[in-house]
Amino acid sequence: MSQPDGLHEVASVLTLARSFLFVPANRPERYAKALASGAGAVIIDLEDAIGPEQKPAARVQLEESFALLGVADRDRVVIRINAAGTVWHADDLALVGKLAHQGLAGVVLPKAESPGQLAHLAASVGQTCALLPMIETAAGLAAIDDIARRPQVARLLFGNLDFQADLGMACGPDEAELQPVRLALVMASRRAGLATAVDGVTPGTGDLAQVQADAERSRRSGLGARLCIHPQQVPVVNAALGPTAAEIDWASRVLAQSSLTGGSVFTLDGRMVDEPLLRKARHVLAQQQFV
């Protein structure tokens, strides 16, 4: 999908990230630690992490602290605002509108349910700020194609816990019940020409074995990144969603052999290599450079 002028470079950072780490907006002393965690992007949260009475002060802390971030860090920072229809949404829009002019990379819209909500957000932040809608409700899932096709949308995010709450689900630890929803995000992203969708969180901060299993499931399902709620989760997610040494070796040999054959179909390791596998090889080598 084509992007407005000025958005491509910032969006590329977000579209290639494998991990998105949450940090509460009212804990600015944690921003630097989050950015140094190895996460591809950091989500400064004004929504679930902040109580109703704390939200005004959190906005002030976020605005003051954002001004102290370097340019490279601002390219990796997105802000999760409060959902459309809440009493905090308008003030959040005013804040991200200011920060977008200072280099804010993107805005996460929770409980995204219509393209109109995204159009309103885009009008507030301008054309250089990426939009990251979270699918967290049945209404959002029903409108997923229209949401994915909105200009400035960089990736779809899955709010797996809120989605369960919205539908009254009680999923098991493997969340097998949510596989159809994950597939819907993968397919909608593909139809809209977006980067791979971002999977939800693993709520147990100390259970790294579950983080590993969840990240491996994300990769098998075609999702390219995960939301993280603790810095310890980041390296596990990055490793699980990145290419393996064997895949990098295969991709390197594929592209090397392709350059020798002038783009013709050839056989490598007993398998025919044509354009789809060449695209896969290029993708593997591109992914190894990013977290």
Q: How far apart are CA 124 and CA 115, in angstroms?
A: 14
Instruction: pLDDT tens for the chain, 291 residues: list them.
Output: 445 444 545 557 899 999 999 999 999 999 999 999 999 999 999 999 999 999 999 999 999 999 999 999 999 999 999 999 999 999 999 999 999 999 999 999 999 999 999 999 999 999 999 999 999 999 999 999 999 999 999 999 999 999 999 999 999 999 999 999 999 999 999 999 999 999 999 999 889 999 999 999 999 999 999 999 999 999 999 999 988 888 888 889 999 999 888 878 999 999 999 888 888 888 788 776 555
The region, left, alpha or beta by phi > 0 then psi within -120 to 50, assigned to residue 103 is left
* Nearest alpha carbon to residue 163 among 190, 144, 187: 144
What residues contact residue 83 under an 8 Å CB cut-off, 6+ apart? 47, 89, 109, 110, 111
Q: What is the pTM of this model?
A: 0.88
For the purposes of burial, counting CB atoms within 10 Å of the CB of 209, is it exposed (0-12), middle (13-18) or buried (19 or more)?
exposed
